[in-house]
Structure 1
């Protein structure tokens, strides 16, 4: 049997990573390349790579689907996902769609219904859900190695330059031309942190957590570049997530699981896991991760449950993102901001925000509940 044919929608941004991965899988004989599309035509190097893979560049998405791919990778802005995913399923293709899958529950439910009607699988590109560190951490929790889990949290301290918000018309927006975009720090760049915490807490697809949030911005955008989110679900450990794109000194994000017998810290970008139990010294282990396109290929002949990041499982995440879209965003006082022009480019930072984020997650508190209170509130 010939390998499945894959098509890629969106070759810029993270789409370039997907293209590299498709090259790997085509080279390994696991896929054939049907082609790709993007708003921008390919340059000479990309055109050469497309031809080498035996595919073609389509002028639009409808033309790409006429090539009858078995799998479509959708790496376009979130507000385009619903239409593109539903069209791919209607054309008979399985889908790997980038995160966030969408920012509205109605869109997610329509995408889920389209997958079910076509009897096709839809995987969401939450890459860290493929981490074996996550599998190990879940087992620790299930086996009671950490005792009763009392809290799950995540921190994120990144720095984004001014160009981050000029990269596309939808950047930093809640809506574009009347369509929900939801490009806030919690909804997009730190979507992995939110989803990882929800996955570890065991929140089911039919559950929507009670949410509290405090959102801030340092520039004239519609969304937060700094925020704290607390989620509670009956019978589940509480979750606190604090993030910023305005760190003075960026730090790798991590997920924290705390129990009454120990704790674990998971640096989800690098699959590193630190475990400390019963007062013993912490032990750090390195783990591998399963590529989600590989995972989709393996699951195509099996049930949806075989997927590491199935569309249906992201419903609580999308519910939280939709709720965030209605929350007020406050502006950080000018006196609490700093301007930088360094190797990261021209950018804003918030004085002391990294320590406040660490404290919020460690104490399971919103920014306004911290003592002493952050000076930038």
Structure 2
């Protein structure tokens, strides 16, 4: 975050002391709010409304008799009514040409949002303003909130620790009538002209603009990247349910998750997420909620009207609060949306309609939870694997007799504080039931099936908060590593005709600064076992990347009672009637921390009943890590209560096999499955 830009926002000419004469172009829709505000300011003696322009003139008696009425801006300019400031509140596609005409006529401009419909138009309007020495204020009213400098001050003071990221969320509902209000509503283009109407560029554009502001992104140069994930439930061209991920030049990530298909209308908000707490701004109410371990407090702030700010800038040279040049970052986002693939329609089976006729509105199933999950993981809908979203292409797909059983992801799309790493997801039974989860809301750093450790010589390769023994609690620290491949050998991706599939990898475990800490040799192997069962095996070896020993630890080895997770881990999705058992006991309390030859998990998953059998080598002494009630997960603890030391020149090796079966298996079935295999690992 940075302080607000101001140098470019001052008036290039000498301040004016005369009462400004104002014209309004567009008196309907949002123009009606401008009329009300103009009446307020005119009564206060701050301005004089001298003219309006609209092909559909206002109702008789709406304006004072002294106000000239024109059909369009060209007629107004031709009449030369001595206008100093023009407010443009017209359809999006007309903003740029009208603004350029007004600027060329020597007028300052208040331009409604979005200011333009393309990057090219932005550059044209900005050039016109600079050439004519005029001001352009953009109607992002939230940028007049006094909460914004207050939030910047809180962050600078360390009230919420280090900033992890910023999110902008909006859950509104819009009816069919909303998209019938004008020809351009819901359009990406109209009559060959760009419109780029949509949830992020128009309806909830203030959420995006406010988020960018708090992320320190004002100009085009402040934006390093924009990723779009756009969808629509309505029969429109434009997006109504989308995720945008913006990377700033300073390294901050802004995640915008927005919809017009919510079950109820909620206040949009922008949140600064920190290691010690969050600061949330409800920008429509100028209310700030500060949440830390010490509790929650609320503060309410005032707001400077942007038209008043423009008039003050003319009179005294104060900076504009929403200058055109400072909407460059927003324009970068708009341009990314304009040039992105057309929004994908959301499958009708995931959308319900409420209301009748033009009052009906769509509701995307589970959208509230999906937005929360996207924000927490800093992920797109596609990356979360939402069923109606575009499929995220896997790096590889593992198959058994031509049937896909697991997708291999390299983890490159995972946020830094979730410790990016390779993993398998989704993993499926032969009948297609998905038996893994990734980036779930409760632990967004849980990634399908893979290998992770929370304490490798002080580096967190698990993700999320780090358990600190001295503090006796989990703490956010800048200690997250990442795991990336340095070499891959694929022997066979399809286990067919009695053959085994095999994938061998060399992986580098890199610290926060990119320095290698560990080298891993990992082998995945898989094969069919029976018509409804297939087998997945994992063999991995960890060795120091340098000539020094490396400690492999866990929360358990750092003092957290029975918190020894780390090593192999399988995150399951929610399932009904979940049962977990070993040869020695049943349930989480009897299986967690036990050392047995195998552990089974059975339940009804979204695609049907299934059983997972986790089989350890006969000589394994690693306890099982089991969670059922808090979340569904199974691991084999590499460092249960004592760290393991990896010595140079040798490997810390672990092996495990998982049988993935359709249907619910009994203990006798499991014994019959495992015993003929010999040592399954």
Whether these two folds match at TM > 0.5 is yes
1:231 counterpart residue number: 246
2:134 counterpart residue number: 120
| Structure 1 stretches of at least 4 aligned residues deviating more than 4 Å after TM superposition | none
5+ long unaligned stretches in structure 2: 1-16, 390-681
Moved more, 151-160 or 233-242: 233-242
2:302 counterpart residue number: 288
Q: How does 1:156-195 map to 2 (within 5 A)?
A: 156-195=170-209
User: What is the distance in 1 between the residues matched to 2:329 and 2:368?
Assistant: 27
5+ long unaligned stretches in structure 1: none
2:546 counterpart residue number: none
Shift of 1:204: 4.3
User: What is the distance in 2 between the residues matched to 1:12 and 1:74?
Assistant: 11
The answer on 1:57 being equivalent to 2:69 is yes
Return closer, same or farther for 1:165/1:2 CA change in 2, 3 Å cut-off: same
1:11 counterpart residue number: 27
2:89 counterpart residue number: 75
Kept in 1: contact 2:56–2:71 (CA 8 A): no
Q: Deviations over 1:289-334 (max 9, x none)?
A: 100000101111344x711100000111111111111222111111
User: What is the distance in 2 between the residues matched to 1:235 and 1:59?
Assistant: 47
Shift of 1:369: 2.7
The answer on 1:39 being equivalent to 2:55 is yes
Kept in 2: contact 1:253–1:269 (CA 8 A): yes
2:648 counterpart residue number: none
Q: Could you tell me which of 277, 284, 299 is aligned with 1:262?
A: 277
Kept in 1: contact 2:22–2:86 (CA 8 A): yes
1:145 counterpart residue number: 159
User: What is the distance in 2 between the residues matched to 1:259 and 1:250?
Assistant: 27
Kept in 2: contact 1:79–1:181 (CA 8 A): yes
Q: Could you tell me which of 92, 98, 113 is aligned with 1:99?
A: 113
Shift of 1:2: 4.2
Instruction: Describe the SS at the equivalent of 2:171.
Output: strand
Return closer, same or farther for 1:280/1:137 CA change in 2, 3 Å cut-off: same
Q: Deviations over 1:122-177 (max 9, x none)?
A: 10000000001112111112333222211000111000000111111111111111
Instruction: Describe the SS at the equivalent of 1:211.
Output: strand
Which protein is richer in helix relative to its size?
A: 1
Shift of 1:236: 3.0
1:338 counterpart residue number: 352
Kept in 2: contact 1:228–1:366 (CA 8 A): yes
TM-score, normalised via structure 2 length: 0.53
Q: Could you tell me which of 213, 231, 235 is aligned with 1:220?
A: 235
Aligned-residue Cα RMSD (Å) equals 1.7
Instruction: Describe the SS at the equivalent of 1:216.
Output: strand
Q: Could you tell me which of 69, 88, 110 is aligned with 2:124?
A: 110
Aligned residues: 369
Shift of 1:63: 2.1
Instruction: Describe the SS at the equivalent of 1:187.
Output: helix
User: What is the distance in 2 between the residues matched to 1:332 and 1:347?
Assistant: 14
User: What is the distance in 1 between the residues matched to 2:333 and 2:97?
Assistant: 21
User: What is the distance in 2 between the residues matched to 1:237 and 1:274?
Assistant: 21
2:323 counterpart residue number: 310
Kept in 2: contact 1:131–1:271 (CA 8 A): yes
1:244 counterpart residue number: 259
Kept in 2: contact 1:160–1:344 (CA 8 A): no
Moved more, 24-33 or 56-65: 56-65
1:363 counterpart residue number: 377
Q: Deviations over 1:230-249 (max 9, x none)?
A: 11124231010101101112
Q: Could you tell me which of 353, 360, 368 is aligned with 1:354?
A: 368
Return closer, same or farther for 1:68/1:300 CA change in 2, 3 Å cut-off: same
User: What is the distance in 1 between the residues matched to 2:192 and 2:274?
Assistant: 44
User: What is the distance in 2 between the residues matched to 1:297 and 1:202?
Assistant: 25
Instruction: Describe the SS at the equivalent of 2:255.
Output: strand
Return closer, same or farther for 1:341/1:204 CA change in 2, 3 Å cut-off: closer
Which protein is richer in strand relative to its size?
A: 2
TM-score, normalised via structure 1 length: 0.94
Shift of 1:342: 6.4
RCO comparison, higher one (Cα < 8 Å, 6+) = 1
Return closer, same or farther for 1:204/1:22 CA change in 2, 3 Å cut-off: closer
User: What is the distance in 1 between the residues matched to 2:383 and 2:91?
Assistant: 35
Moved more, 319-328 or 17-26: 319-328
User: What is the distance in 2 between the residues matched to 1:116 and 1:376?
Assistant: 46
Q: Which has the larger radius of gyration?
A: 2
